[in-house]
Structure 1
Amino acid sequence: MRSMAFAAPLLLLAYGVLRWIDGLDGHRRGGPAWDVGHLAFLASMATFALLAVALWRRARLARRTALVAAAAAILGSACMIWVIVGDLSASFQDGYPLPGPLRTAGPIAFVLGTIGLLSLQVASGRLPVWSPMLFFAGYTAISIDLDLLPLAGLILLGALYPLAASAAPARAARLRQRREQAASASRRHERPARPSRTA
């Protein structure tokens, strides 16, 4: 989860920077920066979808609510991936356009689902209360102006940083427990057998 919490906003940041570079000549679309940026955007949304699954599995409270929130976040991610693929391939966009209602509802489902999952982590005491608020602020920046994508990526990174940081001690504890179990099993295996007593 730690890698996903870092990778998703960093990939979005990369997309924003590459989008800005692509527009330096006054034109957007069709250049290498456009293509690489959209691939980064696609990878970001796929990582956000995987993060939603991880947050659902980690939820302790309101498991059904967490499932609905994860489904919404994944649906929103899928809708945006659909649009990204269409931006990269004109033939795909012409042959399989995303329906208008999904084009509108997808981003909303993504942000509400992700904020819901983060809020459940807040309720469990695993995240600070400002984390979902900061996530909403980052998404709002994207909604205001796509040129704010680099800023939005940094804001989302700040929102998810506590999630990434909280995963590190848990992972270290799991590794320590596995080492202790392996050492215990090794000691049992190496313990010499007691000599049998004869009458």
Structure 2
Amino acid sequence: MTYPRNALENIMNVRSAFVAAPLLIFAYGAIRIVDGFDGEKGPGLAWTTGHLAFMAALVLFVPIFWEMRRRLERNALATTAVAAGFVGIACAFAQFAIDLVVGFSAADHAAMGPLFDQVKAVPGVSLAVYDGGPFLFYIAQFVLVTQLAARRQVRAWTPVLVLLDFTLPIIDRDLIPVGALLLLVSFVPMARRREEAAPRHALAHA
């Protein structure tokens, strides 16, 4: 039995995103810890590599959110959550892009502080890019996963793991890798569910 190539490619891409995104966040957290072994974080290769890993994870959350919305039959709450999530992704991506530019511009760690102060002094930037906007990304995750749990499409404990993923770093940012592993545990079943649905989806469109 064969399946439409474009359908299978889409399924595999989404499945990969569910696994790759948490792993990239884990990589960012681990690299961040290594970067701090000398007592300072950034600038340098570790700073750049870690930030690029997280930015790649943010990009993968676009198809992840879209897939969650599809599984929720594109209801109003899911659509609103995805829209807010996309805004949060954009804000978080901007934050990490600024961090990269600062890292490339600063001669050493001490020089990074004044550059960050200049950026945050721009009206609205601190709220949108650092203090408020990125939280929409995490709130959207929680809302979407909670809806999936309410419909019994994921385990009841899945929202708890997602919540821990973004609350643990608030306690200590060195816990980012732990949160990422919890996110991976919560996302892997969703990736498998997508994979198992592939034959039925392809057969229906054959």
Aligned to 1:35: 48
**For residue 2 of structure 1, what is the amino acid of its counterpart?**
R
Aligned to 2:79: 67
For the residue of structure 2 that corresponds to 1:27, the secondary structure is coil
Q: 2:179 aligns with which of 146, 152, 168?
A: 152
For the residue of structure 1 that corresponds to 2:154, the secondary structure is coil
Write the deviation string for residues 29-81 of structure 1: whole angstroms up to 9, x where unpaired. Answer: 11211111100011111212331122112212x71111111111111111111
Relative to structure 2, which stretch is displaced further, 123-132 or 64-73? 123-132
Relative to structure 2, which stretch is displaced further, 168-177 or 42-51? 168-177
- Residue 101, structure 1, aligned to residue 114, structure 2: no
Q: CA deviation at 1:177?
A: 5.1
**For residue 121 of structure 1, what is the amino acid of its counterpart?**
L
Q: Distance between the aligned counterparts of 2:34 and 2:172, measured in 1?
A: 16
Q: Distance between the aligned counterparts of 2:82 and 2:135, measured in 1?
A: 13
CA-based RMSD of the aligned residues comes to 2.2
For the residue of structure 2 that corresponds to 1:89, the secondary structure is helix
Write the deviation string for residues 112-149 of structure 1: whole angstroms up to 9, x where unpaired. Answer: 11111112222332111111111001111111111111
How many residues are aligned here? 178
Aligned to 1:7: 20
Q: Distance between the aligned counterparts of 1:124 and 1:132, measured in 2?
A: 12
Contact 2:58 / 2:89 at 8 angstroms: preserved in 1?
Answer: yes
Percent identity between matched residues is: 32
Q: Distance between the aligned counterparts of 1:172 and 1:154, measured in 2?
A: 29
TM-score (norm 1): 0.81
Aligned to 1:161: 188
TM-score (norm 2): 0.78
1:72-91 equivalences in 2 (<5 Å): 72-90=84-102
Go from structure 1 to structure 2 and tell me whether the alpha carbon gap of 1:101 and 1:95 turns closer, same or farther (over 3 Å shift).
closer
- Residue 50, structure 1, aligned to residue 63, structure 2: yes
**For residue 162 of structure 1, what is the amino acid of its counterpart?**
P
**For residue 165 of structure 1, what is the amino acid of its counterpart?**
R
Q: Distance between the aligned counterparts of 1:55 and 1:169, measured in 2?
A: 16
Q: Which structure is richer in relative contact order (CA contacts within 8 A, separation 6 or more)?
A: 2
1:15-26 equivalences in 2 (<5 Å): 15-26=28-39
Structure 1 unmatched ranges of 5 or more = 182-199
